[in-house]
Amino acid sequence: MTPRIVSSERRLRRGYLGQKEVLWAAALALAPLAATADPAADYAEHCASCHAEDRLGGTGPALIPETLGRVKGLDEVIAHGRPATQMEGFVDRLSEPQIAALVEFIKAPLAETPSWTVADIEASREMEADYTPAEAPVFDADPMNITLVVETGDHHVSVLDGDTLDVVDRFPTPYAVHGGPKFSPDGRYVFIMSRDGWVQKYDIWSLREVGQVRAGLNSRNIAMSHDGKWLAVANYLPHTLTILSTEDLTPVKVLEVKARDGSESRVSAVYQAPQRRSFILALKDAPEIWEVATDPEAGPFHDGFVHSHEKGMEESVGAQKGLFARRRIVIEEPLDDFFFDPDYRHLIGTNREGTKGVVVNLDVGREIAELPLPGMPHLGSGITWDRNGHKVMATPHLNEGVLSVIDMTDWSLVKAIKTNGPGFFLRSHETSPHVWADVFFGPHRDEVHIIDKQTLEIVKTLNPAPGKTVAHTEFTRDGKYALVSIWEDDGAVVVYDAATLEEVRRLPMRKPSGKYNVWNKITFSDGTSH
């Protein structure tokens, strides 16, 4: 099937651009406040044209609990719209009880798991009509020191020159980007995913979007294959893993995720394991880890054994081999949120309740150790470094003000570093003696701890914008600067000299979240989560 070729006008339709002024007073004066609420009828009349009758999204995002779960103030959005998008306010047409009933309506689960087949994915694919790849970067900056800033306030990405710290481009993204964008191994292209399942391809050299495709209906994250040919998309809805060609975003395979007992599972996350030439999948609802080969020579992987009467012995069934062959690793209970050691032989996962960590040896395919990691460790943010000749890893905890530092040679707990509250992200760099750790939750959410990698002591606490949430650090390629987000709609990226810890520049941004340096990401720097 040929993809739809679109121009940048599409962005306008999708609501990335365009200003909608909400005239409060006039709207209120006009409001015919209805006495009773019929949310299904109100949805059909006011919402379905943009968000689709089935609530799975159209020009507007999907309105389902899986994506709305984290959005606060939905009543405000319905009443007054979202600035800088096509979402208008309905306060002139819907009463307060009608809006409250609509919020409940869109937060209710869908009656059944919707399907999203290869044909649906293919039909959603849109490639930019006037895109021609540039022969060389169209800017003077070092392409390996480009740093992307995801701005969730108005769904854009800013492309920063890591040396001059100037913004060389700013482009619209799909709604609600989550997880780290993934770069092609040469650092030229980047792939960005939204919780609505849209995957966008952007050419950094040309400073141009290449295209977009909807790979799932509610997606978690993406991973790049070792050779840069395939991009895997982990989906909650439907229960699948979508594999796209990185060349033109064509869906090449959709794996239905069914456990050994036949039950379906959501995919919590997919990880790239370049040394293993595979993707590793965390399954939310099944006690299994999946490894999907990106190597055409892989396998065979045996799914199980049956007694063969003919041969009088156990014989393997369901063996898979070659590209995208799947290997199941059966574990005791479902694990999600993984961290890998640098050679990808081991992974650490947390159980559902987030009360412990489990080490799985991926080569032999079984659990080999348990770690004392209470308080919901956020392993996806873990980083590693060398300390006294040992490789250590550190992870924050989402509901405890502590960072756990683990010795990766014997999996012992080296230290639980007490912080001023639970944090979300950690970052360091090979050239930096420090770990930068935010305090995302609680009264100290405006602080960033600077921790000595050897003594494991907090040596300084920065407070770049008192009272505002401050989170997520990224270093430039050479480790000279550390960039921290002021996670507010009228926020900023604050640039620090990583050696002196002094602020050198403040770049205004719309709710900047993650930042991603091309070099640090494509070289799998120890200081960054992968």
Residues of this chain that interact with ligand DHE (CB under 6 A) are 70, 152, 178-180, 221, 269, 337, 380, 424-425, 472, 513-514, 529
- Residue 474, φ and ψ in degrees, nearest 5: -140, 145
In the bound state with ligand DHE, the residue whose beta carbon lies nearer, of 98 and 528, is 528
Least distance between ligand DHE and beta carbon 181 (Å): 8
Q: Given 3-state DSSP classes, what are the helix, strand and coil percentages for the chain, each rounded to the nearest 5?
A: 15, 40, 45
In the bound state with ligand DHE, the residue whose beta carbon lies nearer, of 188 and 472, is 472
Least distance between ligand DHE and beta carbon 162 (Å): 16
Q: What b/e string do you get for 412-449 counting C-beta neighbours within 10 Å, with b at 16 or more? A: eebbbbebbbbbbbbbbbeebbbbbbbbbbeebbbbbb
Q: What is the DSSP string of 14-51?
A: HTSS------HHHHHHH----SS--HHHHIIIIIHHHH
CA distances to 159, 166, 205, 206 from 139, rounded to whole Å, are: 11, 11, 8, 9
Least distance between ligand DHE and beta carbon 340 (Å): 12
Least distance between ligand DHE and beta carbon 48 (Å): 26
In the bound state with ligand DHE, the residue whose beta carbon lies nearer, of 72 and 307, is 72
* Integer Cα distance of 112 and 202 in angstroms: 34
In the bound state with ligand DHE, the residue whose beta carbon lies nearer, of 70 and 309, is 70
Least distance between ligand DHE and beta carbon 318 (Å): 28
Radius of gyration of the chain (CA): 24
Q: Say if residues 62 and 50 touch (Cβ distance below 8 Å).
A: no
| CB-based burial label for 364 (10 Å; 0-12, 13-18, 19+) | exposed
Sign of the alpha-carbon dihedral angle for 96, 97, 98, 102: positive
Q: Which among 199, 240, 234, 196 has a CA at the least distance from the CA of 218? A: 196
Helix (H) or strand (E) holding 512: strand 512-517
Q: Say if residues 328 and 261 touch (Cβ distance below 8 Å).
A: no
Least distance between ligand DHE and beta carbon 49 (Å): 27
* Integer Cα distance of 66 and 195 in angstroms: 9
Q: Say if residues 209 and 177 touch (Cβ distance below 8 Å).
A: no
In the bound state with ligand DHE, the residue whose beta carbon lies nearer, of 72 and 309, is 72
* Integer Cα distance of 52 and 60 in angstroms: 8
Task: List 194's β-bridge partners, or say none.
Answer: 177
Three-state SS at 9: helix
In the bound state with ligand DHE, the residue whose beta carbon lies nearer, of 120 and 474, is 474
Number of CB atoms found within 10 A of residue 72's CB: 8
Least distance between ligand DHE and beta carbon 425 (Å): 6
Least distance between ligand DHE and beta carbon 221 (Å): 4
CA distances to 85, 177, 251 from 212, rounded to whole Å, are: 19, 13, 12
In the bound state with ligand DHE, the residue whose beta carbon lies nearer, of 99 and 157, is 157
In the bound state with ligand DHE, the residue whose beta carbon lies nearer, of 152 and 173, is 152
Q: Say if residues 246 and 189 touch (Cβ distance below 8 Å).
A: yes
Q: How many CA atoms lie within 13 A of 447 on its CB side?
A: 17
In the bound state with ligand DHE, the residue whose beta carbon lies nearer, of 269 and 498, is 269
Least distance between ligand DHE and beta carbon 269 (Å): 4
Q: What is the DSSP string of 409-440?
A: TTTEEEEEEE-SS----EE--TT-SEEEEE--
Least distance between ligand DHE and beta carbon 173 (Å): 12
Least distance between ligand DHE and beta carbon 268 (Å): 6
Least distance between ligand DHE and beta carbon 183 (Å): 12
In the bound state with ligand DHE, the residue whose beta carbon lies nearer, of 95 and 517, is 517
In the bound state with ligand DHE, the residue whose beta carbon lies nearer, of 16 and 425, is 425
Written as one letter, the residue type at 158 is S
| CB-based burial label for 232 (10 Å; 0-12, 13-18, 19+) | buried
In the bound state with ligand DHE, the residue whose beta carbon lies nearer, of 337 and 446, is 337
